[in-house]
Structure 1
Amino acid sequence: MSARRSELSRRGFLTGSLLVAAGTVLTTACSTDPTGGSSSGAGTTLNVWYHAYGEAGTQQAVLRYATAFTKANPDIAVKVTWVPGDYAGKLNATLLTDAAPDVFEIGDFSESLARRGQIAALDDVYGAARSDFNATALDSVTVDGKLHGVKMIDDVMMLYYRKSALAKAGITPPTSYDGLVAAAKALSTGKSKGLFVGNDGIGDSPILAVWSNGGDLVTPDGKVAFGSPRALEALTGLKRLHDDKSLLLGFTTDWWDPAAFTQGVVPMQWCGLWAMPAVSTALGDDFGVLPWPAYRAGGTSAVRVGGWTSCVNAKGRNVAAAKKFVQWLWVQQSDLQKDFAEGYGFHVPPRTSVAATARKLSAGPAKETTALAAKYGKHNPGTWDTAVSSAFSAAAAKIAGGQGDPAALLADAVKKAQSEIDKQLGR
């Protein structure tokens, strides 16, 4: 599940810490303090943080993994800390204290953690398995040529469409942006709308627009790239969907939930692979998946790949043991990696050999989605923090809504975003 979606939708669960030592859960300490827990007789105790996954069984799964690790490494106890609510906020605050976790997961990867020396380089953890991780998983955690995390799961975001609805309207699944605009307009009848990309009518569409016209958001050396002529062209093109009034706005749940699609409110929706079990249950085989289509000739289709990454606290007291845990779980244990990806939700294992053996990804739309990710997958750059993305999104929303001069709006966003990135990079 993507980091953005988790911030919007996670519910329940008290913050708690469960200590695993010698392969046994010894104590439970639930409180509002995510740093709770206790020590054990092991020589080293690792504090491992997870955000509160909404999928049933995930918390029990990570405890089983910790138990298996301590059986193999009885000198290392593992305290699993389950953190609900504003995980990113709690994590960032705790990383500034002595109570910082030894191992923790993050959603969209942030280069600033590496540049501040907060997370350790993990090239040695990968070893020979490095070549088995997909290119997107490696590229997304690379800072100055070094790998600063191990991707746990890939969350693929793509376009769902209702086969019967398009067939009834005589519409071929769109393979170009012109086709998408035309389909959304044709499928909008009365109060029904043809496409759902988010309650604000924006969602991921500005990012996808830039990518689909051969543009980029930020260059590897930290230069803002979304101010290019191609980016401006594609962002301006989003106005067509708004002018046609083809977009569903203000639904009861946002784009990350498939309810608008499964309930027949829209025949096309931007959503994620995690929603496929619910979509399949509701619609059977009456749905297909597509990438966001190329804006024009010379562009490329795009799907967004998010997910979660395991990192090691470089300033912690147990760096060697923490690396051992991450290596054992996310590099060496292919069965557990597959279990985590398809046992409690629906995700793609970042290791190609593991993904190839994942039964739920072996056929139908799930297999198609995996292929789309391999061919068209793009991830947000590591400098794409809240300040940078907010400057871009605000300008894109005004451009799509016809509020002001597009070139001037985008130029101002570039200036703001570049200032924020320069701060991140210390220049």
Structure 2
Amino acid sequence: MNFSRRHFITGATGLAAAAVLSACGSNSGGVSTGSNASASGGSGSAKLIQWYHEYGEKGVQDAVNRYAKAYKNADVTVKWNPGTDYMTLLATTLLSGNGVPDVFESENGATLDMIQKGQVVDLTDTIGDSASKFSKPVLERMTYQGKIYAAPQVVDMQMLYYRKSVLEKAKVEPPKTFADLVKAAKAVRTNTMGGFFAGNDGGLGVLANMLVWSAGFDQLNSDDSDLGFMESNFLDGVNAYRDFYASGALLTSASKDWFDGSPFVNGETAMQWTGLWALNDIKKKWGDDFGVLPFPAIGSTGRQSVPFGAYGSCAAAKGASNNVSGAKAFIKWLWVDQTDKQIDFANSYGTHIPARTDLVSQASQIASGAGRDAAEFVDKLGHASGLLWTSTISDAFNAALTNVVKKKANAKTEFAAVQKTAQSELKRIKK
């Protein structure tokens, strides 16, 4: 499993890499002539350079080279970028202007920095009438001020796995509300099995944003000038999670962390929050004796929710080949028109969801059962951290949550301080 790719759907900001850059650095990001660059010649005379980050699943690199080779209107050179600092390398390269790829993938689409600096081009016309075929929340995450800046490629997501037989034995229903989750976790917990597991930090990292979304709120208000959740239902939810953390029904120490399905597979916990990528291992172990759910609704204004992450394909405004129209045409060909390749990309290398909802039934791993449920969760209940939810705001939020849950600080006081930080940060970055 490629943890770096999974990590960004835990709450990574839209400015993830660019925010830490103070200089362009020495790495130009140019196309390598070594083993990580593969020239794939089409019959056209145009040239394009395309970047991917390193996927952990076997076969992806061969697949993307095969896709590029099949394109007949340009010679596409694919650059595969090993390591965990892809977004930093990408931001550095765009900032330097040297060796900029014509087409590149970016976490949840173009960052705010890329858009504001004019480093990427508008793809609204490229997506065109096909926009309605894409999962609405996924495409909206790649949209800013009404313009689409990336074509969604493939979707990862997280959800709650539970053992059907264990809950049935304890006479509790699969939890649809947070109160139900607490009740169920307490009912199924034994001396050898935890009730619910969401990480060795008590779930504070991976579930932080869920406490906002499942309480019925958004991270920011409608005009992106302030926090969108400073209401009693959110604060009550945080306090409820603090009590859950202290109850003993929340497993806080397992053999692996939340992103690995092993604690659930091994029977260390009756319920676990982890990713779609664990589905096949869980299915192999438990057969039909498991189900999946969104994170439960919190309080009277709550709603069920799940987080998702999707790399998006962007076109550089000033790529190495100086061929914006060619880059846009290639993106349309690959990520809008070539449905067979989109299904292959989502289905053949791990377990993922096609970004187009009309292709879900053709992806065999998620065409039915828990996989199909997961795809529906994303389309109906999916959320991702917004472009303006910067690392400054996110860090302040996470620190406040930790103080409340682990140190029993006052929730209203802690998040009032987050609000001041957010107001100042939003004023700074909005243009």
TM-score of the pair, normalised by structure 1: 0.88
Which AA in structure 2 matches 1:353?
Answer: D
Worse-matched range after superposition: 142-151 or 109-118: 109-118
Contact conserved, 2:51 with 2:103, CA < 8 A, in 1?
yes
Query: Could you report, residue by residue, the CA deviation over 1:250-292 in whole angstroms, capped at 9, with x for unpaired residues?
Result: 4343211111111111111111112111211222222100111
Secondary structure of the corresponding residue to residue 238 of structure 1: helix
Which structure has more relative contact order (CA 8 Å, sep 6+)? It is 2
1:325 matched residue in structure 2 = 330
CA distance in 1, matches of 2:163, 2:86: 35
Partner residue of 2:65 out of 40, 63, 69: 63
Which AA in structure 2 matches 1:352?
Answer: T
Contact conserved, 2:50 with 2:76, CA < 8 A, in 1?
no
Q: What are the within-5 Å matches in structure 2 for residues 15-414 of structure 1?
A: 16-22=36-42, 43-69=45-71, 72-73=72-73, 75-97=74-96, 98-109=98-109, 110-190=111-191, 192-201=193-202, 202-223=204-225, 224-316=227-319, 317-414=322-419
Contact conserved, 2:52 with 2:78, CA < 8 A, in 1?
no
* 1:236 CA displacement: 2.0
Contact conserved, 1:103 with 1:311, CA < 8 A, in 2?
yes
Secondary structure of the corresponding residue to residue 271 of structure 1: strand
Secondary structure of the corresponding residue to residue 154 of structure 1: strand
CA distance in 1, matches of 2:8, 2:276: 17
Which AA in structure 1 matches 2:124?
Answer: D
Contact conserved, 2:192 with 2:268, CA < 8 A, in 1?
no
* 1:339 CA displacement: 0.7
CA distance in 2, matches of 1:113, 1:424: 13
CA distance in 1, matches of 2:342, 2:129: 17
Structure 2 CA distance for partners of 1:261 and 1:304, relative to 1, 3 Å: same
Gaps of 5+ in 1: 9-13, 24-41
Contact conserved, 1:3 with 1:107, CA < 8 A, in 2?
no
CA distance in 2, matches of 1:111, 1:220: 17
What's the % identity of the aligned pairs? 36
Query: Could you report, residue by residue, the CA deviation over 1:197-231 in whole angstroms, capped at 9, with x for unpaired residues?
Result: 12211133221121112111113532321333332
Structure 2 CA distance for partners of 1:239 and 1:194, relative to 1, 3 Å: same
Structure 2 CA distance for partners of 1:253 and 1:118, relative to 1, 3 Å: farther
Structural RMSD (CA): 2.2
Query: Could you report, residue by residue, the CA deviation over 1:367-418 in whole angstroms, capped at 9, with x for unpaired residues?
Result: 1222222221222212223222111111112112243211111011122233
Secondary structure of the corresponding residue to residue 208 of structure 2: helix
Query: Could you report, residue by residue, the CA deviation over 1:92-123 in whole angstroms, capped at 9, with x for unpaired residues?
Result: 11221212222111223433321221221101
CA distance in 1, matches of 2:372, 2:47: 40
Contact conserved, 1:20 with 1:77, CA < 8 A, in 2?
yes
CA distance in 1, matches of 2:42, 2:293: 47
CA distance in 2, matches of 1:173, 1:15: 49
Contact conserved, 2:346 with 2:352, CA < 8 A, in 1?
yes
CA distance in 2, matches of 1:197, 1:297: 23
Contact conserved, 2:153 with 2:335, CA < 8 A, in 1?
yes
Secondary structure of the corresponding residue to residue 351 of structure 2: coil
Gaps of 5+ in 2: 10-33
CA distance in 2, matches of 1:134, 1:290: 19
Q: What are the within-5 Å matches in structure 2 for residues 1-16 of structure 1?
A: 5=6, 16=36
Contact conserved, 1:338 with 1:358, CA < 8 A, in 2?
yes
TM-score of the pair, normalised by structure 2: 0.87
Which AA in structure 1 matches 2:158?
Answer: M
CA distance in 2, matches of 1:301, 1:121: 33
Query: Could you report, residue by residue, the CA deviation over 1:118-140 in whole angstroms, capped at 9, with x for unpaired residues?
Result: 22110111122112112112211
